[in-house]
Structure 1
Amino acid sequence: MSNFDVAQLAHVEIFSPKPQETLDFFTELLGLQVTERQGQSVYLRAYEDFYHHTLKITEAKEAGMGHTAWRASSEAALHQRVQSLEKSGYGKGWIEGDLGHGQAYQFQTPDGHNMEILWEVDYYQAPDELKTKLKSRPQKRPKVGIPARRLDHVNLMCSNVTQNKEFMKDELGFKLRENIILNDGTEAGAWMSVSPLVHEVALMGDRTGQKGRFHHIAYWYGYPQHLMDVADLLVENEIVIEAGPGKHGISQAYFMYVFEPGGNRVELFGDAGYLIFDPDWKPLTWHEDELEKGIIWYGSPLPEEYFLYGTPHKTTVKG
C-alpha cells in the first residue's frame, strides 16, 4: 500500500434534529457559506475551503455524524484503497456520488463509523461579488460572524482505540502522531494524519463502552485571538461553551469546545498546533501520570461530560 493513497479530509456530514438552528449557528456565528441545498440537507464551506463543501447538515431525529469523507490522491489510488477495503470486510459499496463530488466508496470503521473515499470533486466558484484579488483564497472573507477559515479534523469515540487505529493505518495509510497509554496498557487516544497536520482524525476511548459515536468536528481559525472574539459572540447568543479557550499539550492546539443547537460538539481550533515534516517521525506517547499537561497545557480542566458525551447521546455507562 502507498502511504499517500489518501490525501486529506474532504467533508463531514452531521445530523441535526434542529437543522435550521444548526444552520444559523454555522452561518451567522462561524461565517460558513451555503453552497447548495438538496432535500433535507444543506451543503456549506468555510471561506478558505476550496471544494464545493466541507460540511453537510442533514435533518435527522438524533444528532450525530452521518459520514466522514476522505479524498484519495488520484483515481488510481482510490481504486487501490477500495480493493483493500473490500478484502477487509468493512466495505459497504459504491455510490454514484453526491452534490459536489463524484463516485465514492462507502465503508465503516471497526466501531461502525460511516466513511467514504472519493477522488472527483467540484471546486467552489465564487460569484462576482465574492471574488477576491488574493489568488490563494477562493473567495472574500465573509462579513458575518467571526468566520472560520477551513475544516481541520474530526474526533471519533471508539470502544477500542487500538483496533480502530490499526484499521486507519492499514486500510487508509494514516500515521500515528501522538497517543495516550494508560497504566493498565489500554490505548485511550490516538491522533493520526496523512498530511503534515498533527491530526485529521482523533480516536478517543468511549468511557461508556458504546460504539461508533461522534465526539466533534473542528474548524480552523488560524489566529488564536479569534477564539476570544467568537467566544464573546457565542455567549451573547446563548451558545453553550463547554471548555476553553485554552491549549492542549497533545497537538499543541488552541481550542474551544461548544455545542451547536442540534447537540453536536464543535471544536474551534486556533493556530495549527505544530506541523510534521519529518518522514521518520516517531509517535509521541503520553502516559497516565503525564496527562494533566497532555490534556490541558494551560486553561481550565475539561469537564467530565467531555469524556462521556458523544452523539448520538445515550446515558449508558460502562460497568
Structure 2
Amino acid sequence: MQDAHEPIRDIAHLGHVELLTPKPAESAWFFKEILGMEETDCQGQSIYLRAWGDYDHCTLKLTEAPQAGLGHVGWRTMSPQALERRARRLAELGYGKQWIEGDIGHGRAYQFEDADGHFMEIYYESQKYKAAPHMSSKLINQPQRYTGRGIGTKRIDHVNLMCSDVTLNRIFLQENLGFQLRECLQPEVDGIEEGAWLSVTPLVHDIAYTRDFTGNHGRLHHVAYWLDNREEILRAADLLIENDIFLEAGPAKHNITQAFYIYLYEPGGNRVELFSGGYLIFAPDWEPVIWRKAERGRGVYWGGTLPTSFRTYGTPVRAEPQSVQEERPLTFDPI
C-alpha cells in the first residue's frame, strides 16, 4: 500500500505515440524520408518507426484511418508492479478500458482514457532496438549510427493534447499517474487555465495539455521530436520548405520551456513539432512556474504572435464555432 503523502513514481517515460492518417503512403514518406526515421515493422494498416536516437524498437505507430488524429499515447511504467498498481487505480476511477496482450514493441498493456477522452495505455515490457550490422554505431552506447537522411530527428520528446478543461486533465495525471506540473499558463489570477506542462522525467515536459477553444474533446495538438541544437532546427526549416511541407510557425523560441521550435503539418494533417533547447528539472520540490498575461508579452520570446490556428486546429479536424473564428489572434504558445 502506497503512503498517501508519498509521490507516485510509477510512470517511467513516454514510450510511443500512435498517429492516424488518411494518407498513409504520404505520411510514411514524410516520417521516413523527411524526418529521417527508420521503419522497424509493419502489421495490418500500421507501420512502426523510430528515430535514430530512440532506444526502443519503435516510438511512432502510423495507422491508416479515415481521419487524422491521435490513436493513443503509450507510457512505460517503472516495473510490472507499478503497472498493476496504476491499472487498479484507473479501473477504480472508471477510466480504465481493458487489458491487451501487447503490440509490436511492447508487452501486456492496460488501456484507459484521460478526463477529456484521449486514449492511452501503460505497459512495462518493452522491446529494445537491436541494430543490424549495417546500422550499428562505433559508439556502442548509441542505439544505431546516424544515417544523415533528411532532417535526422533524434528521439521522441513529448506530446501535446488539446482539451476542454486543462485543470481537470492535469489533475488527473498528477493524482493518478504521478506527473509533476512544471509550468502553467493562466493569464488571469482567477481565470481559466489555458495550458499545463507536466513530466515524470527531468524533461520540462513529457506531455502538455492546452485548451481547445473550439469546445471539442479528445483532439491532438502535436507530437514532438527532438533535434540536438538550434542549427539543426534551422537546417530542418530549409529542408521542409524545399519539400513543400507547410510551416505553421517558427523557427523561433518559446517563453514557456525556453525551447527552439518549428511547427508543421505532416501530409496526413497532424501537427508535428521539431524541438530543441529547453531545460531540465532535477529538484524534487520544483515549484511550478505560472505565466500571467503580463509575463507572456506578445506570445513568443523574441516577439510576434502565433497564428490563430494554435487555439483551434487539432486532429481530427472539426468545425469551429463562428464565435471562435471571429476571435482576435492568439496570444499564447502551447508547446
TM score, norm. by length of structure 1: 0.97
List aligned pairs for 1:249-268, cutoff 5 A. 249-268=255-274
Q: 2:314 aligns with which of 291, 310, 318?
A: 310
Counterpart AA for 1:263: G
Does 1:179 pair with 2:184?
Answer: yes
Q: CA deviation at 1:318?
A: 7.6
Alignment match, 1:194: 200
Q: CA deviation at 1:85?
A: 0.6
Alpha-carbon distance change, 134 to 263 in structure 1, aligned in 2, over 3 angstroms: same
Deviations 1:93-123 (A, max 9, x none): 1001001110000000110000000000111
Q: 2:228 aligns with which of 222, 228, 231?
A: 222
Q: Is the 8 A contact 2:312 2:320 kept in 1?
A: no
Q: Is the 8 A contact 2:160 2:223 kept in 1?
A: yes
Does 1:139 pair with 2:130?
Answer: no
Q: 1:247 aligns with which of 246, 253, 256?
A: 253
| Inter-partner Cα distance in structure 2 for 1:148 and 1:211 | 30
| Inter-partner Cα distance in structure 2 for 1:225 and 1:132 | 23
List aligned pairs for 1:140-159, cutoff 5 A. 140-159=145-164
Q: Is the 8 A contact 2:15 2:75 kept in 1?
A: yes
| Inter-partner Cα distance in structure 1 for 2:186 and 2:322 | 19
Does 1:128 pair with 2:143?
Answer: no
| Inter-partner Cα distance in structure 1 for 2:213 and 2:147 | 39
Counterpart AA for 1:153: H
Counterpart AA for 1:305: S
Q: When the two structures are aligned, how many residues end up with a matched partner? A: 317
Runs of 4+ in structure 1 deviating by more than 3 angstroms, as ranges, are: none
In structure 1, runs of 5+ residues without a counterpart are none
| Inter-partner Cα distance in structure 1 for 2:57 and 2:25 | 20
Q: 2:41 aligns with which of 15, 33, 36?
A: 36
| Inter-partner Cα distance in structure 2 for 1:55 and 1:176 | 25
Alignment match, 1:9: 14
| Inter-partner Cα distance in structure 1 for 2:149 and 2:294 | 44
Q: CA deviation at 1:3?
A: 2.2
Counterpart AA for 2:284: P
Q: Is the 8 A contact 1:207 1:318 kept in 2?
A: no
Alignment match, 2:119: 114
| Inter-partner Cα distance in structure 1 for 2:212 and 2:141 | 39
Q: Is the 8 A contact 1:154 1:217 kept in 2?
A: yes
Q: Is the 8 A contact 2:48 2:60 kept in 1?
A: yes
Q: Is the 8 A contact 1:246 1:299 kept in 2?
A: no
Q: CA deviation at 1:254?
A: 0.6
* Structure 1 vs Structure 2 CA RMSD: 1.2
Q: CA deviation at 1:125?
A: 0.7
| Inter-partner Cα distance in structure 1 for 2:19 and 2:114 | 17
In structure 2, runs of 5+ residues without a counterpart are 324-335
Identity %: 51
Q: Is the 8 A contact 2:37 2:153 kept in 1?
A: yes
Deviations 1:283-315 (A, max 9, x none): 00001232226x411264211111110000112
Counterpart AA for 2:281: I
Q: Is the 8 A contact 1:245 1:299 kept in 2?
A: no
| Inter-partner Cα distance in structure 2 for 1:278 and 1:103 | 32
Q: Is the 8 A contact 1:17 1:60 kept in 2?
A: yes
Deviations 1:180-229 (A, max 9, x none): 11325211100000011000000000001111110000000011111111
Alpha-carbon distance change, 4 to 268 in structure 1, aligned in 2, over 3 angstroms: same
Q: CA deviation at 1:135?
A: 1.9
